[in-house]
Amino acid sequence: EDQVTQSPEALRLQEGESSSLNCSYTVSGLRGLFWYRQDPGKGPEFLFTLYSAGEEKEKERLKATLTKKESFLHITAPKPEDSATYLCAVQYSGGSNYKLTFGKGTLLTVNP
């Protein structure tokens, strides 16, 4: 069973059409949930860290929220330059104390 599941696998939006990406996790003892953006052929770029349920963080058109079992990445009025793969990762105390466990990502395409 995957510990981190992202949905949808792919999302196509029109410019200005707001939406949300989901990251659900089954691990216990969450020590942090991380969102990254990845452009083709490049390494992941850090966006947010969330530590506890109820926490929210914002950056430009992006807002990340966290509950006890999932996180959402809300994208408000997206632009074509927001097109990328968005990765979610968790760090939890039940397994290694060091590593991040990633989901498979959501490929976002924003059409002009």
- Residues contributing to the site for other proteins (CB under 8 A): 4, 31-32, 34, 36, 41-46, 49, 51, 87, 89, 91, 96-105
Q: Alpha carbon of 41 to those of 34, 38, 44, 85: distances in Å?
A: 20, 8, 10, 11
Choose between 40 and 112: whose C-beta lies nearer to other proteins. 40
How many C-beta atoms surround the C-beta of residue 92 within 10 A? Answer: 21
CA distance 48 to 76: 16
The least distance separating other proteins from the CB of residue 112, rounded to whole angstroms, comes to 25
The least distance separating other proteins from the CB of residue 51, rounded to whole angstroms, comes to 7
Choose between 41 and 112: whose C-beta lies nearer to other proteins. 41
